[in-house]
Amino acid sequence: MTELIPDLRVVSADSHLNPPPDMWVEYLAPEFRDRAPVVESTDEGDFEIFEGKRRPMVGLTAAAGRKPEDYTLTVRRFTDVRAGGWSPAPRIEDMDIDGVDAEVLYGTLGDPLKSSDPLLTRASYTAYNDWLADFCSHAPDRLIGIAYIPCNEVDDAVAEIRRSATKGLRGAMIPHVPPDGSTWGDEKWLPLWNTLVELDWPASFHVGGSSLAGSGDYKSTAGYFNSMVATKLQMPLTLGAIVMSGLLERLPELKLVSVEGQIGWIPFWKYYLDHAYQKHRWHKDLHFAEVPSFYIERQCFYTFMEDPPGIEARHACGVDRIMWSSDYPHSETTWPNSHKIIGEIMQTVPEPEMKRIVRDNCVELYHLD
């Protein structure tokens, strides 16, 4: 571990888990277990079998420890990747190797299950959150779980938030838009937001769960890279829709988190939303007590891995709102060189500001101390 930041205990505001396919057999409700995904091991490699579809083990979500030139879309065996992606004891070992004190844990795009049976899909939310709670119980002061929340019905969403809170989970992962085509600012969703405020749970929006995530020809080389950029640029649209709905003005204690969206776009977004508001508020009959950036600066938080332009603009982003993350074990992870990379991208950042960005902001948001 580098000495660029001696003795600094960092916290990752966005790391990941890759639940093993056989997890579902144990954690799904009994009536669904005979329909759970299973792992088939063959001479060709390991495959996940679910509802008649056979797919290889995904590799880019478990790339920790490999060089970028060795990245592959799939891996031959599930055991070819680091066990810290699904097992808590090896996870703690890898955190110690990287000098990371605690991690806020998200799943992987594709969790929960996407079944042709909506009842099985819904059951998988409960199963995943129960597995996550058990994973975090291994070291609850270091492993901070974010629950997947089903959002087809507001009462069900509220019930799963409250149930997950009793199991020790610490925040809610919410889709970028409601599945029913409404908007998050609609009155019908107010019980969800009020529940998060009551529990002091942030609402997280992760890249990849948006309408832009698969825009363009994702299978082409150009489309692949464009889609990676598009997932970041969806974030101001998702957050902006909530800001301009008036929800943050109405609920000043509600906190929103842009997860893995990087930060370099924040200054322009805040400026231009204010600019557009001042130009168009009258004919749209939209009037807040403050300009939109006031609510953004009060209630929005952001995670990043490596974003030197964003760090240069950190004061315009909000030094008390941006949070470093390792993205372990996904393909953009900084593991096992997180301290070295932090030191390189923050070498001109004063130590008090650096500590806020790599530790204190996340600690305060999730009440980790």
Question: Which tens digit of pLDDT belongs to each residue from 141-167?
Answer: 999 999 999 999 999 999 999 999 999
Alpha-carbon span 255 to 296, nearest angstrom: 10
Residue 38 inside a domain? The answer is no
Alpha-carbon span 249 to 254, nearest angstrom: 9
Beginning with the edge strand found earlier in the chain, give each strand of the sheet holding 53-58 in spatial order.
38-42, 45-50, 53-58, 74-75
pLDDT tens for the chain, 369 residues long, are: 334 566 788 999 999 998 887 899 999 999 999 999 988 888 787 888 899 898 877 755 666 777 777 666 666 677 777 889 999 999 999 999 999 999 999 998 668 999 999 999 999 999 999 999 999 999 999 999 999 999 999 999 999 999 999 999 999 999 999 999 999 999 999 999 999 999 999 999 999 854 444 444 567 888 888 888 999 999 999 999 999 999 999 999 999 999 999 999 999 999 999 999 999 999 999 999 999 999 999 999 999 999 999 999 999 999 999 999 999 998 889 999 999 999 999 999 999 999 999 999 999 999 997
CA atoms within a 13 Å half-sphere pointing along the CA-CB vector of 2:
13
Residue 218 inside a domain? The answer is yes
Residues 11, 102 contacting (CB under 8 angstroms): yes
Residue 328 inside a domain? The answer is yes
Residue 72 inside a domain? The answer is no
Give the tens place of pLDDT for each residue, 329-338.
988 899 999 9
Alpha-carbon span 157 to 168, nearest angstrom: 17
| Nearest residue to 152 (alpha-carbon basis) of 175, 120, 126, 185 | 175
Residue 30 inside a domain? The answer is no
- Which neighbouring-strand residues pair with 103? 12, 143
| Nearest residue to 358 (alpha-carbon basis) of 7, 99, 12 | 12
Residue 295 inside a domain? The answer is yes
Residue 171 inside a domain? The answer is yes
Residues 99, 365 contacting (CB under 8 angstroms): no
Helices (H), the chain: 23-27, 88-98, 118-136, 154-166, 190-199, 221-244, 247-250, 266-280, 292-299, 308-312, 314-317, 338-345, 351-355, 361-366
Number of C-beta neighbours around residue 120 at 10 A = 21
The model's pTM is 0.94
DSSP state of 360: I
| Nearest residue to 292 (alpha-carbon basis) of 284, 301, 300 | 300
Q: Is the bond preceding residue 252 a cis peptide, omega within 30 degrees?
A: no
Number of structural domains in the chain:
1
Boundaries of domain holding 302: 10-21+82-366
Residue 263 inside a domain? The answer is yes
| Nearest residue to 192 (alpha-carbon basis) of 104, 138, 254 | 254
Give the CATH number of the domain where residue 136 resides.
3.20.20.140
Cβ within 8 Å of residue 103, ≥6 positions away: 11, 12, 15, 95, 142, 143, 144, 326, 328
